[in-house]
Structure 1
């Protein structure tokens, strides 16, 4: 759907406003039902645990520090481990500075993904509430008009 599909000249805004003024007033029960539904959907987002999907990524967000140096080579392994540790020890400040921006980027991406996941959860919860409400209204309509379901 495009924006121009939503813009129409017919009916005019005045005609729509006049039509809404002719609508009957909702009953008190309908207002209460709508108020309860809206109250349920206005639940404040809960700052909870990180989503399981992002726990491993969060643990690896800081790329400046690596696992301890190891080697599987039996003879030259200890020499390689010593060389790795010495290199890391000497150049760690430079490595940290080079990777600092990457760490900030990783943290920003994880925060953004967390917000997206929380928004998606909240949207799914709201959608489920509205679906239950629509199902209840449909059942009420079918109960009120038994001849309508026989078409």
Structure 2
């Protein structure tokens, strides 16, 4: 049985619903355990923060604007700086247009990486919670198991 069959086949959906009604009611301890697990895993939505790993690339995503023009040459340096500034001033609209798609791509990639990073963190958090729950269940099962002497 697949999930889409439940939506397309009303008879199958009715059969599944009838089968769930025949299930025994859970004990109050089981309900409380499930409620505690759900409360532990519930997290309030937080403001979207950029991961520290992506903070530096995020600050550099707009490649249309360069660092201020400088020169290390002592004599011709000021003339080169003036020429660089004049070039930038004259051609900045063209530079912006040429790099516009690159900037959009950079933003999209950074957003995707941030989403992947958050999903990875959430997955690790969920796995840790399930691992803790399985360990607790195993400990309870081992504690309730009758001890039998070992044979030599």
TM-score bin (small chain): 0.7 to 0.9
Residue 77 of structure 1 and its aligned partner are, at CA, apart by 1.2
Moved more, 104-113 or 31-40: 31-40
Residue 24 of structure 1 and its aligned partner are, at CA, apart by 6.3
5+ long unaligned stretches in structure 2: 1-15
* Alignment-derived partner of residue 140 in structure 1: 140
Q: In angstroms, what is the RMSD of aligned CA positions?
A: 2.7
Matched, 1:58 2:51: no
The CA distance in 1 between the partners of 2:75 and 2:124, in whole Å, is 58
* Alignment-derived partner of residue 106 in structure 1: 106
CA shift in 2, pair 1:21/1:142, >3 Å: farther
- Asked if structure 2 preserves the Cα contact closer than 8 Å seen for 1:45 and 1:122, the reply is no
Pairing of 1:74-93 with structure 2 (within 5 A): 74-93=74-93
Pairing of 1:1-151 with structure 2 (within 5 A): 26-147=26-147
- By relative contact order (CA 8 Å, sep 6+), the higher-ranking structure is 1
5+ long unaligned stretches in structure 1: 1-16
Give the TM-score taking structure 2 as reference length: 0.76
- Asked if structure 2 preserves the Cα contact closer than 8 Å seen for 1:70 and 1:81, the reply is yes
The CA distance in 2 between the partners of 1:85 and 1:109, in whole Å, is 31
Paired residue secondary structure (1:90): helix
Moved more, 67-76 or 20-29: 20-29
The CA distance in 2 between the partners of 1:35 and 1:113, in whole Å, is 33
Paired residue secondary structure (2:32): helix
Q: Aligned pairs, how many?
A: 135
CA shift in 2, pair 1:118/1:45, >3 Å: farther
* Alignment-derived partner of residue 3 in structure 2: none
Paired residue secondary structure (1:72): coil
Residue 99 of structure 1 and its aligned partner are, at CA, apart by 0.7
